[in-house]
């Protein structure tokens, strides 16, 4: 092989490599499908002793059965999923610490799975838990009122962050 043929082959391979990398980047960028999720901060507010009681053993068992602690690996950031609002709420009984809010499917297409992901932090800023809520067959234009059950005691939760992900149909 001559030097010019070898150089041309390298240029072709380099161009193909750049093109493939560019195409992959386009599929996983911030533009709406793929990439890393963007979390927004949530404020816990003033948790008082009257609304921050710990769950009993039977209440904790019921809460543990409801709390989603494993993420869905098939979800990714989607442009059409919008986190409309969210707040930390202490419910009575087994629910205890929760994060509640609304997600809107702003697109016209159905989302196969939508998942809210939360990360819970203590007063020192240390991550103390991750909790999830999910729904399926989320039609375009619809709103979903979610509730994430958090197993940490309300008095241990200082802040959280949150995002929404999905799987298109």
Same domain, 26 and 54: no
- Do 135 and 56 fall within a single domain? yes
Same domain, 21 and 49: no
- One domain, residues 105 and 150: yes
What would the pLDDT profile of 23-38 be if each residue is shown by its tens digit?
A: 333 343 333 455 789 9
Task: Identify whether residues 5 and 62 lie together within a single domain.
Answer: no
pLDDT tens digits, one per residue of 49-60: 445 668 889 999
Q: Are residues 43 and 122 in the same domain?
A: yes
Report the pLDDT value the prediction gives residue 92, as an integer from 0 to 100: 86
Give the model confidence (pLDDT) of 135-160 as tens digits.
999 999 999 999 999 999 998 999 99
Q: Are residues 148 and 107 in the same domain?
A: yes
**Residue 42 and residue 23 share a domain:** no
Q: Compute the average pLDDT of residues 125-131.
A: 97
Residues 59 and 81 in one domain: yes
Give the domain CATH number at 50: 2.60.40.3230
The domain of 26 spans 1-30
Do residues 105 and 137 share a domain? yes
Do 25 and 49 sit in the same domain of this protein? no
The structural domain count of the chain equals 2
Q: Show the 3-state SS of the chain.
A: CCHHHHHHHHHHHHHHHHHHHHHHHHHHCCCCECCCCCCEEEECCCCCCCCCCCCCHHHHHHHHHHCECCCCCCCECECCEEEEEEEEEECCCCCCEEEEEEEEECCCCCEEEEEEEEEEECCCCCEEEEEEEEEEEECCCCEEEEEEECCCCHHHCCEEEEEEEEEEC
101-113 pLDDT, tens digit per residue, is 999 999 999 999 9
């Amino acid at each position: 092989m001559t030097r010019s043929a070898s150089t041309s082959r390298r240029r072709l391979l380099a161009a193909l490599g750049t093109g493939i990398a560019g195409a992959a980047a386009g599929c996983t960028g911030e533009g709406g499908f793929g990439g890393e999720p963007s979390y927004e901060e949530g404020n816990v507010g003033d948790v008082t002793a009257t609304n921050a009681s710990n769950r009993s053993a039977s209440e904790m068992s019921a809460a543990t059965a409801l709390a989603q602690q494993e993420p869905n690996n098939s979800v990714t950031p989607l442009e059409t999923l919008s986190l409309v609002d969210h707040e930390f709420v202490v419910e009575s009984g087994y629910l205890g610490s929760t994060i509640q809010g609304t997600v809107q499917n702003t697109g016209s297409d159905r989302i196969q799975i939508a998942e809210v992901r939360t990360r819970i932090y203590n007063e020192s800023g240390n991550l103390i838990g991750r909790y999830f809520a999910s729904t399926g067959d989320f039609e375009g234009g619809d709103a979903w009122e979610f509730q994430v059950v958090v197993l940490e005691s309300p008095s241990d939760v200082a802040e959280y962050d949150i995002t929404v992900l999905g799987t298109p149909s």
